[in-house]
Amino acid sequence: MTNKIKWGVIGSGGIAKRRTIPEGIVPAEHAELVAVYDINPEANSAVAIEFQAIAASSIQDLINSDIDAIYIASPASLHHEQVVACAKAKKHILCEKPLGMTIEEAEQMIAICKEEGVLLGVGLMMRFATQHQAALKIIQEGKLGKPVYGRAQLSCWYPPIPGAWRQYPKTGGGGSLMDMGSHCIDLLEMFFGKIKSVNCFINNTVHSYQSEDSAVVSLFFENGAMGTVDTYFCIPDNSSKNVLELYGSKGSIIAKGTIGQGAAGEMVAYLESNDADYSAEQARSAAEGLVIDPKPVNTYMAEIEEFSCAILEKREPANDFTLGLRSQQVLAACYESAKTGKVVEV
C-alpha cells in the first residue's frame, strides 16, 4: 500500500458529487479517487469524467477495481446491504449517516466489519469543524463550568418531491430528525457526554409526505445537563440560522451557522470566570465575548483524511462505528418517545 488510500464511491450522484469527492477525496493528502458507482449510469459517468475516475457498472465491478476503501453515500435503506457486500470484499468502509435503518442493522454492519477485519466509519463530519473542536476544548478545560444546557438546530426547506427517499420512512428511516437531527444529537453528545433519556415530538407541520417535517427533542444528559434539538424540513433555508448554544455554570458558547455543510459560521464564547489568560490563537477579544475563529478546515476533507490515515496507521478512525450505533440508539429512543408520548431511556 502506498501512502494514498485508493477510494471507491457508491452513490456518486448526490452529496458525494457535491462535497465529499471534490472537497474531500480529491484534495486529501492521503486519498485518491479511483472508481465510482451509481445506479444512475448517466450521473455516474458524468462524475467519473469530471473527477477522472473509473465508472463502475455495478457494486461488484467497483469492488473488483483496485481500491482499498469505499465511501457509501446512497439512500439510507441501502447502507446495510452495501456495507455487508463491501466488508465481505475486505474493503474499509466510510458509511454516510445513518449507519443503518435500525439499531439491529447497525449492529449487524459492525459485526460483519469486525469479522472481516475492515474499518467501519460513519459520516458525522460536523465533529471536525474547527469551531466545534475549539468549543469542545473550552468545555474540556472546564472554562464553561458544569454543563447546564445545550441546543443544536438544523433546519431547511425541503418541499415534497415525488420519489425522494428521505420523504418515506421505508427508505429514509425517518424525516428531519433522522436526516439532520442525527448531526445535532451527535454534536451535543460530543460536547456534553451521553444522553440518558429523551422526550420527542414529531409532526408534519407544513409538508404532507410520510416522513416527519418537524421534530423537537428534549434531552437529559447523564451528567445532569439538559438540551434541545430542533430540526425542520419546513423552515426556509435563510431563516434557520442553525444555532448552537452551549451553557455552563461559568459561561456560554453561542454559534450561528457552524452546524451545516459549509464553514461559514460565527461562534462567540462568554466566559465569566476571570479566565483572562484564554488566548489560544484561535480566539481574539471581542466587545462582549471571545470570538472563536480558528482556521477553518473543510469537514469533508477532514473526515476523508482522518479515515485514510486510520487505514494507513492500522488504527480505529475518530468517527468509528460506535458513533453510528450510538446515533441509532438515541434516534430509536426519540421515535419511540414520539410514538408513545413518554420519556424514553436511551
Ligand X SMILES: NC(=O)c1ccc[n+]([C@@H]2O[C@H](COP(=O)([O-])OP(=O)(O)OC[C@H]3O[C@@H](n4cnc5c(N)ncnc54)[C@H](O)[C@@H]3O)[C@@H](O)[C@H]2O)c1
CB of 131 to ligand X, least distance (A): 16
**Which residues bind to ligand X, rule: CB under 6 A?**
10-11, 13-15, 37-40, 43, 73-76, 78, 96-97, 123, 125, 179, 261
First to last CA, the chain: 41
All three cell numbers of 68: 482499498
CB of 344 to ligand X, least distance (A): 23
CB of 270 to ligand X, least distance (A): 29
Nearest residue to the partner ligand X, using Cβ? 14
CA distance 126 to 275: 28
CA distance 240 to 232: 9
Tell me whether residue 218 or residue 261 sits nearer to ligand X (CB atom).
261
Q: At what angle do helices 103-116 and 321-340 cross, to 10 degrees?
A: 170
Tell me whether residue 323 or residue 344 sits nearer to ligand X (CB atom).
323
CB of 41 to ligand X, least distance (A): 10
CA distance 177 to 15: 18
Instruction: Let me know: does 103 contact 325? Beta carbons within 8 Å.
Output: yes
Beta strands 290-292 and 283-285, pairing class: antiparallel
CB of 74 to ligand X, least distance (A): 4
Tell me whether residue 176 or residue 252 sits nearer to ligand X (CB atom).
176
Three-class secondary structure of residue 205 per DSSP:
coil
Q: In what order do the strands lie in the sheet containing 54-55? A: 54-55, 31-37, 5-10, 69-72, 92-95, 120-122
CB of 175 to ligand X, least distance (A): 12
C-alpha 125: how far from chain center? 5
